[in-house]
Structure 1
Amino acid sequence: MAKSLNFQRFFHSVKSNLKVEEEPIRKLISLLETDRFQAAVSLTKSEIISKNPQFQALSHLYQSLANSFPPLASSLSSALIASCAQLKLAEPALDIIAHVGENQHPSPSLHSINLLLENLVSTRRYSDTLSLFSKIDSWGIRLDLFAYNKAMQSCVKSGDIDRALALFKRMKEKDWIVPDKFSYNVLISGLWKEKRGDDAEKLFDEMLGRGISPSEVTYNSMIDGYCKSGNLDAAFSVKGRMLISGLKPNVITYNSLMNGFCRARRTEESKNLLAEMEANGLVPDGFTFSILFDGLSRNGDTEAAVDLFEEAMRKGFKIDSYACSVLLNGLCKDGRVSKAEEVLERLVKKGLVPTTVIYNTLVDGYCRVWDVDAAIRVVESMSSYGLKADRFTYNSLINAFCKMERMKEAENFVIEMGENGFGPSIETFNSLIDGYGRANNFERCFEILEEMEKVGLKPTVVSYGSLMNAFCKNKKLNEAVKLFEDIVDKDIAPSVQIYNILIDAYSASGDQHKALELVDNMKKSGLSPDIITCNSLIKGLCKHGHVSDAQILMHKLRDEGLRPDVITYNTLISGYCSASDMHKALQLREEMKQLGVQSSIATYHILISTMSNHGKIKEVDELYHQMLQENLAPDFGMYKTMISAYMRSGDGSKATALQKEMAERSMPIYEMS
């Protein structure tokens, strides 16, 4: 009777503020008084869902009830927090926590706190998770394994692995809590992400030493970590231990291994893993195919990527939109844009819904091969799937028209872009500067720089670099130097790329002394010359017939820690070919092999063209065969060179075979006039 009278006094005192019916609150208090906690949580959730006004301002409800029923404060806050956590309403729960702390009320239960911690982590509110963890720790609540795990998980997700490790140490040594699989899995994964493989190995060994059996997640984290660090042998060793433990590799395991082999350019072994995966009854997912499509394309073998696509289609495997975009990107970068469009059409017939990213890949692909009409056709077809061109779409078109010096059309697309809600970006303006620079319209270039400022975009080093590059390409070196000085006066720090533009220009003009002076200035400003800097110097020497000096410079730079790349070697090989010194040119190609520098199509194009011009058709055949062995697919230029060589030597059958091959690869067929 006393409790009922007490409730009546409370109800009348707060009725004007809460504006509620009596029954739900009376029932809630009754349930908490009789320790029917779960029923109290169910009632609270039901009232929140039904939008009962008295349960909409939960922190106010908590304050009012806790002040009137102090003995129920802890169970009340626990019930309200648990209800909010289960309904994924973090804010009112955090407000209640704040009131508990401010008014020094009894703490809610750790169970309800853990529910809230889980809710915060699941919604990626890692900072709030850690703040809550610290708050309840300061209240003297004895933390359990679950709370520690959520805090460590939040640290890892926030990129603070050291704080996670400190919590792990404290959990074990201060609170005497034994870690579980989840604890180790979170930390091992976090350490690998931070490229701390040695520490991940130590934790893995500690886990085994404690007698905690690794799960699939543990093994997959170790395998993925080793693969990304390039230690494929260790990855396979872990896979072996996984099998011995009785666990079977899953799709994630195989995806990690395939990704590792693709990164190492060992694509054949990746395909073997795919076969093993299927033999074990596992179905490849979209990520599996995206890994293989990307690996094969990066390795220059888009034909194998297409073969894999055909195999996937025959077997009925699903190619998702991401895997599709990866395959199309590889084909487009290889110049096989019509093939990419054919692939998309077939997937659409199988039910794939195209994305803007997929269409942008095709648009950019056609722009790269200067087929702007096809690019515009693709843009127009987007509307049939409810898609619209975005800023990337327009920038691809604008950049292509600028590269082709069709500036009126480029400007028209800038206008259309704005009409469709996309203001020009830095990239848009940079393309325009580059285009007008190519067209020698430098006055318009400076106007565009002013327009950028008017719309609130500050010209970047790239903006000025485009104009400087245009000056240099048009042999206006003095103007380029003046612009360089203006950049410095504007307190814009010149980048390595800016220096490289001038170094390349001076080298090309034969002023090697001035080029080297700029290299010294670059070093004094705290910048280090890169391989592009060196290639410019080497190209300048080769252009003016100093090929031997260029090769000496290459070896000197190598001694200083700069590794020559394929462009370095191609420049020198071209220099020796121009000097008709095929012996040294071929020697350099052998040196490339020994140093692990991958030849490019350009390498073989230089050598084959020179051999062809000297009538050495046998050597042409040998080089072409070696190129194919290196998984380098011929491009249009290579086909043109080979067909011309065979036709000049009177071998029309080989020329015809290559023309047929071009048709099969959906490339324009080259025919000698």
Structure 2
Amino acid sequence: MAVCAEKKTSYGMDIVLRIMPELNCIPDVYSYSILFKGLCNEKRSQEALELIHVMVEHGGSCQPNLVSYNTVIDGLLKEGEVGKAYSLFCEMVQRGISPNIVTYNSIISGLCKVHAMDKAEKVLQQMFDREFLPDTATYTSLIHGYYSSGQCKEVEQVFEHMSINGVQPNMITYNIQMDYHCKSGRCTEARKIFDSMVSLGQKPSVTTYSILLHGYAIEKSFHDMHCLLDLMVENGISPDHHVYNILIFAYAKEEMASEVMHIFTKMRQQGLNPSVANYGAVINLLSSIGRMDDSMSQFNQMIAEGLAPDIIVFNPLISGFCTCGKWEKVHELFSEMLNRGIYPDTVFFTTIMDRLCKNGRVMEAQDMFDLMVHMGVKPNVHAYATLMHGYFFVRKMDEVRKLLGNMLSIGLKPDVFIYTILIDGYSKNGMIDDASAVFTEMLEKNIKPSAITYSTMLYGLFHAGRTVAAIELYLRMIDSGIHVDIVAYNIILRGLCKNNCVDEALRMFQNLSSTNYPLEVGTYNIMISVLVKGGRKEEATYLFDDILAKGLVLDVVTYSLIKKRSTLKKLTEEGCAADSYILNAIIRMLLQKGEVHRAGSYLSKIDERRFTLEASIADLFLLQRGIVGNIRGFLLKNTTLIWNREMVETLCRDFSRYSGLLTEGYTY
């Protein structure tokens, strides 16, 4: 049957089914098996399935055997016909043909790939019943199936069974197991598996290293990430583009530009030229932090190296220039993108429109919208919402209505997102009746408002002074089963206070506090602010004490409220958590009040937390006679302090006896 090997299976079928019978030469199961293999190799497994059924129906001595069934089952699985493969497997068992380990592994693998874990479990049980022991391939398929189905407990159970039965994992099993732990936030466990694999003589692949590197990247364990990379190189495994992309994206996510550029340089040193994806990640980072000159430099470099930029490269560049208002550059890059045959999608257009609208350039956003339609890119609901938001921003209500009409005319129905944009826009433009009408229309069309929709409507009603209507809406929100989040409660509390319902706001606040609702510092700030303004100092102090008792971290707003009521002593003496801004602000206030020694005691807190002492505060210290000697050591040790000319001149002029500061290497 050499014809099958030459992919002339149709001719082979003619020989087996027509010519051989005419010559009284009855084909045997071996001939059919070759035919099955040829059909499956040519991705004609459906024909092989039909042929196997013909064999069974005709009866006689030539019946499909184990090899025949295994071949056709494998062919069906490779073509994604898992259901048909499983049915054929069941037929085979019913006919009394016993599957072997190959059959079981094939069918379990196929079922696991389509997440049919209940059927895979039945086949596994049948294996046990027939005294077949699962091997590494069986367990690996099950682990992959459970893992991709999100059945984490079952994954753990399979690992335990492997260990109990003494089945050693292979590279694929190790990788799946490590990936499972890394994505579950357990990189330490993944590293143990990695080390165990190495100790057993298994050599990790690039994929293995990539999995663990990605895990470290997610956990921001940059030291471990670099140590693993060094180990990878030491073991003779060359990092590929995917590995470097993991490192670049990890640092880019934290806006650590210098580290990203270091990795970029390291790639070249190891003889690996950056790919389009690598350049895209770097350009995206540089653009997001406003370093557009550097971003363009990388863009030009990639073109010089013969790489063709794609939409992922152009998007952050154009967005970045939109943000910094360089519109000529935006048009230049947009034209270049089109000239290169790169046609933007809806997401791209919507992103640019959003940037334009936020900069008040709504007409240019409209031009972008019109170009999108002209290019045959169909705008979606988010594109319309973006432009509507822009027109609301510049108070062009007629344009909003036109857009809404246009949207309806092309068959797009407003969703909860559109309705929320309309409510927000009308409310912020003082058109609360229109906002209320939109909300009512939404309910009439059976579109369920989201928590954000309710919060937006509540804000509008309180802002318009319609307190009763706002409270009624709040009660309706509860009745509808929508969770009232902290954002909504902050809007309600602020609205009640704004509309002279302070006692009602306090009662709501106390009720939330008594039910252990997770309040945030911003919620306390609302209440402390209104109490301070109303001269209710004791109640404000009580709430401040409650912030500290609950271990919440004060923010700048809380600090400013405390400053207004001269309650700095309570802030400093209670040992509340503070960030660099708050500590600097405390020291500045103490110096302005002349409490020099108390201010000096807070320098140690700056030092302990490795915060930066602001130069302006150092100036204030230097202007306080008699204190320089006490702070001299700190000022010398605080290498993050930026010395300016005025500071040094002040020091030299007023405290020349401390000229040692200059002789120890501080110049200007």
User: Counterparts of 2:142 and 2:399 in 1: how far apart (Å)?
Assistant: 56
Correspondence 1:81 to 2:69: no
Tell me the equivalent position of 1:461.
Answer: 451
Correspondence 1:165 to 2:151: no
Tell me the equivalent position of 2:578.
Answer: none
Tell me the equivalent position of 1:391.
Answer: 381
Per-residue CA deviations over 1:482-512 (Å, capped at 9, x if unaligned) read 3223333444442222111012234556766
Q: State the AA in 2 paired with 1:358.
A: F
Correspondence 1:267 to 2:263: no
What is the root-mean-square deviation in Å for CA atoms of aligned residues? 4.4
Q: CA deviation at 1:348?
A: 3.4
- Residue 32 of structure 1 contacts residue 40 of structure 1 at CA under 8 Å; is this kept in 2? no
Question: Judging changes above 3 Å, is the alpha-carbon distance between structure 1 residues 292 and 467 closer, same or farther for their aligned structure 2 residues?
Answer: same
User: Counterparts of 1:136 and 1:316 in 2: how far apart (Å)?
Assistant: 53
Task: Give TM-score scaled by structure 2 length.
Answer: 0.73
For CA contacts below 8 A with separation 6 or more, give which structure has more relative contact order: 1
Per-residue CA deviations over 1:77-135 (Å, capped at 9, x if unaligned) read 2222122123333332122123345x2632444435545555666xx52x126733641
Question: Judging changes above 3 Å, is the alpha-carbon distance between structure 1 residues 333 and 142 closer, same or farther for their aligned structure 2 residues?
Answer: farther
Q: How does 1:493-642 map to 2 (within 5 A)?
A: 493-508=483-498, 514-524=504-514, 527-537=517-527, 540=530, 557=547, 560-564=550-554, 584=585, 587=588
Question: Judging changes above 3 Å, is the alpha-carbon distance between structure 1 residues 47 and 463 closer, same or farther for their aligned structure 2 residues?
Answer: closer
Q: State the AA in 1 paired with 2:57.
A: S
Q: 1:150 aligns with which of 119, 141, 161?
A: 141
Correspondence 1:135 to 2:123: yes
Tell me the equivalent position of 1:41.
Answer: 37
Task: Give TM-score scaled by structure 1 length.
Answer: 0.72
Q: CA deviation at 1:326?
A: 4.2
Partner SS, residue 389 of structure 1: coil
User: Counterparts of 1:227 and 1:306 in 2: how far apart (Å)?
Assistant: 27
Tell me the equivalent position of 2:196.
Answer: 206
Q: How does 1:280-429 map to 2 (within 5 A)?
A: 280-296=270-286, 299=289, 301=291, 304-329=294-319, 332=322, 339-429=329-419
Larger CA deviation: 185-194 vs 30-39: 30-39
Tell me the equivalent position of 1:106.
Answer: 97
Tell me the equivalent position of 1:657.
Answer: none
Q: Which has the larger radius of gyration?
A: 2
Q: How does 1:482-501 map to 2 (within 5 A)?
A: 482-501=472-491
User: Counterparts of 1:540 and 1:301 in 2: how far apart (Å)?
Assistant: 42
- Residue 293 of structure 1 contacts residue 326 of structure 1 at CA under 8 Å; is this kept in 2? yes
Q: State the AA in 1 paired with 2:230.
A: G
Q: 1:64 aligns with which of 44, 57, 60?
A: 57
User: Counterparts of 1:284 and 1:169 in 2: how far apart (Å)?
Assistant: 42
Q: State the AA in 2 paired with 1:34.
A: Y
Q: State the AA in 2 paired with 1:210.
A: L
- Residue 41 of structure 1 contacts residue 80 of structure 1 at CA under 8 Å; is this kept in 2? yes
Tell me the equivalent position of 2:663.
Answer: none
Q: CA deviation at 1:247?
A: 0.8
Question: Judging changes above 3 Å, is the alpha-carbon distance between structure 1 residues 292 and 370 closer, same or farther for their aligned structure 2 residues?
Answer: same
User: Counterparts of 1:336 and 1:555 in 2: how far apart (Å)?
Assistant: 49
Q: State the AA in 2 paired with 1:158.
A: S
Tell me the equivalent position of 2:176.
Answer: 186
Q: CA deviation at 1:398?
A: 1.8
Partner SS, residue 44 of structure 2: helix
Partner SS, residue 518 of structure 1: helix
Q: CA deviation at 1:206?
A: 1.6
Partner SS, residue 34 of structure 1: helix
Q: CA deviation at 1:245?
A: 0.9
Q: CA deviation at 1:389?
A: 1.2
Partner SS, residue 72 of structure 1: coil
User: Counterparts of 1:24 and 1:531 in 2: how far apart (Å)?
Assistant: 88
Question: Judging changes above 3 Å, is the alpha-carbon distance between structure 1 residues 384 and 210 closer, same or farther for their aligned structure 2 residues?
Answer: same
Per-residue CA deviations over 1:526-555 (Å, capped at 9, x if unaligned) read 631134424544665787899999899678
User: Counterparts of 2:366 and 2:608 in 1: how far apart (Å)?
Assistant: 44
User: Counterparts of 1:91 and 1:273 in 2: how far apart (Å)?
Assistant: 47
Question: Judging changes above 3 Å, is the alpha-carbon distance between structure 1 residues 208 and 355 closer, same or farther for their aligned structure 2 residues?
Answer: same
Q: CA deviation at 1:471?
A: 1.8
- Residue 146 of structure 2 contacts residue 155 of structure 2 at CA under 8 Å; is this kept in 1? yes
Q: CA deviation at 1:403?
A: 3.9
Which sections of structure 1, spanning at least 5 residues, go unmatched? 1-20, 577-581, 608-628, 631-673
User: Counterparts of 2:316 and 2:610 in 1: how far apart (Å)?
Assistant: 25
Q: State the AA in 2 paired with 1:78.
A: N
Partner SS, residue 64 of structure 2: helix
Q: CA deviation at 1:224?
A: 1.4
Partner SS, residue 283 of structure 1: coil
Q: CA deviation at 1:198?
A: 2.4
- Residue 109 of structure 2 contacts residue 142 of structure 2 at CA under 8 Å; is this kept in 1? no
Count of residues in correspondence between the two structures = 571
Q: CA deviation at 1:594?
A: 7.9
Question: Judging changes above 3 Å, is the alpha-carbon distance between structure 1 residues 291 and 512 closer, same or farther for their aligned structure 2 residues?
Answer: farther
User: Counterparts of 1:161 and 1:433 in 2: how far apart (Å)?
Assistant: 43
User: Counterparts of 1:129 and 1:110 in 2: how far apart (Å)?
Assistant: 18
- Residue 104 of structure 2 contacts residue 123 of structure 2 at CA under 8 Å; is this kept in 1? no
- Residue 31 of structure 1 contacts residue 40 of structure 1 at CA under 8 Å; is this kept in 2? no
Larger CA deviation: 104-113 vs 258-267: 104-113
- Residue 251 of structure 2 contacts residue 260 of structure 2 at CA under 8 Å; is this kept in 1? yes
Which sections of structure 2, spanning at least 5 residues, go unmatched? 1-15, 567-582, 591-601, 617-639, 642-668
Q: CA deviation at 1:361?
A: 0.7
Q: 2:221 aligns with which of 216, 225, 231?
A: 231
User: Counterparts of 1:455 and 1:251 in 2: how far apart (Å)?
Assistant: 51
- Residue 29 of structure 2 contacts residue 62 of structure 2 at CA under 8 Å; is this kept in 1? no
Q: State the AA in 2 paired with 1:276.
A: K
Larger CA deviation: 323-332 vs 397-406: 323-332
Larger CA deviation: 429-438 vs 294-303: 294-303
Q: State the AA in 2 paired with 1:380.
A: D
User: Counterparts of 2:273 and 2:282 in 1: how far apart (Å)?
Assistant: 14
